[in-house]
Amino acid sequence: MRKEYDFSKLKGRENPHAGRLKRQVTMRLGVDIIHYFKGMSEETGIPYQQLINLYLRDCVERNRKLAIKWESRSRTSV
């Protein structure tokens, strides 16, 4: 092996995976949600954070929307 290598002649190329990079975020999830995905993780052998990512990706690909109706509460000051 050489003691030194000349990298000046190497050609750079784009990362083929750059479009699928991940970004770290901080989220507050319910304990029941975490237990659910951790349980699924034990069954499948897939890390629970990856399972959450796969589930969310499936929602994006299928263009799923939440069907939630929020109750309007009237707050009265005392």
Identify the domain containing residue 39 by its residue range.
Answer: 29-61
Q: List per-residue pLDDT tens for the chain, 78 residues long.
A: 788 888 888 888 887 877 778 888 999 999 999 999 999 999 999 999 999 999 999 999 999 998 888 888 766 655
CA distance 15 to 12: 9
**Residue 73 resides in a domain:** no
CA distance 36 to 13: 41
**Residue 52 resides in a domain:** yes
Residue written as token pair 């995905």: 37
CA distance 75 to 44: 46
**Residue 21 resides in a domain:** no
Q: What is the SS3 assignment for 8?
A: coil
